[in-house]
Amino acid sequence: MNRTMQKCYNIIVTGKVQDTGFRALIEEVARLLDLKGFVFNDIDGSVKMVCCGENSAVSKLFTEIRTIGSRRGIVIDAIAKEELPSNIFLPERFSRLYTDDLGDIGRKLDIGNSELKGINTKLSPLDDRLSGLDNRLSGIDDKMSGIDGRLSGIGEDTHGLNEVMGSFVVEQRGHNKRLEKILEKLTER
């Protein structure tokens, strides 16, 4: 990179830019644009970076992180930049710094716990509904058992009816045979 065309900036990005994957996005775009520098989360909720490269590449970085970031749900309220002297010693590849100390880890755990409580609060009415549904299903199960009992009774009744009908058919055959004999005798006369 030609050092005369290189510009270095101290940059601060504010908005909903932490816990969103924003630093990874900046690192990815900056590396594609062959920029030098680093990016980190600051305790004030902003994302800060030092960035060096050709002016057009730095401008493109801002455009890309705004465009791609908005598609990913990152909300950028403002990007403030301050030009720095060009002779800053920076890593050759743009890097994401992991500044998550115990305070930041604690903050992230608090956010996670808050989200879990919110989910639990949202699930509580659902749990009540499911309990009510379970009671209704239990009632339906009882009714189905009653229907099963009645169907079983119908089956037993049908079995008994089949036996009665079977004996009736046997009796009817006997009766028919007697009637045939009577008719034969009547026709002979």
Terminal-residue alpha carbon distance, the chain: 135
Q: Is the pLDDT of residue 1 over 50?
A: no
The whole domain housing 80 covers 6-99
Kindly state whether residues 80 and 114 are assigned to the same domain. Answer: no
Kindly state whether residues 120 and 139 are assigned to the same domain. Answer: yes
Nearest of 32, 15, 27 to residue 98 by alpha carbon: 27
Q: How many domains does the chain have?
A: 2
Report pLDDT digits (tens) over 163-180.
777 777 777 777 778 878
Domain boundary among 99, 128, 146: 99
- Name the 3-class secondary structure at 90: coil
Q: Which residue has the higher pLDDT, 86 or 53?
A: 53
Q: Quick check: pTM over 0.75?
A: no
Nearest of 5, 20, 11, 2 to residue 94 by alpha carbon: 11
pLDDT the model gives residue 4? 46
Kindly state whether residues 72 and 151 are assigned to the same domain. Answer: no
Kindly state whether residues 142 and 179 are assigned to the same domain. Answer: yes
Single-letter amino acid code for the residue at 108: K
Kindly state whether residues 55 and 86 are assigned to the same domain. Answer: yes
Residues above pLDDT 90, as percent of the chain: 34
Report pLDDT digits (tens) over 84-117.
876 778 888 898 887 765 566 666 677 777 777 7
Whether residue 1 lies inside any domain: the answer is no
Q: Is the pLDDT of residue 67 over 90?
A: yes
Kindly state whether residues 113 and 179 are assigned to the same domain. Answer: yes
Domain boundary among 76, 99, 122: 99
Kindly state whether residues 117 and 69 are assigned to the same domain. Answer: no
| Cβ proximity of 36 and 91 under 8 Å | yes
CATH number at residue 65: 3.30.70.100
Whether residue 88 lies inside any domain: the answer is yes
Mean pLDDT of the chain: 82
Dig out the tokens for 25 from the structure.
């996005």
Whether residue 154 lies inside any domain: the answer is yes
Kindly state whether residues 91 and 138 are assigned to the same domain. Answer: no
Q: Which residue has the higher pLDDT, 63 or 4?
A: 63
Q: Which residue has the higher pLDDT, 168 or 71?
A: 71
Whether residue 26 lies inside any domain: the answer is yes
Kindly state whether residues 95 and 107 are assigned to the same domain. Answer: no
Domain boundary among 67, 99, 131: 99
Kindly state whether residues 66 and 145 are assigned to the same domain. Answer: no
Q: Around Cβ 50, how many Cβ atoms within 10 Å?
A: 17
């006997």: which residue's tokens? 174
Q: Is the pLDDT of residue 56 over 80?
A: yes
pLDDT the model gives residue 117? 75
Kindly state whether residues 72 and 117 are assigned to the same domain. Answer: no
Q: Distances from the Cα of 19 to the Cαs of 30, 133, 176, in angstroms?
A: 19, 38, 95
For residues 41 and 99, give the distance between their C-alpha atoms in angstroms, rounded to a whole number.
7
For residues 151 and 164, give the distance between their C-alpha atoms in angstroms, rounded to a whole number.
19
Nearest of 6, 16, 188, 177 to residue 84 by alpha carbon: 6
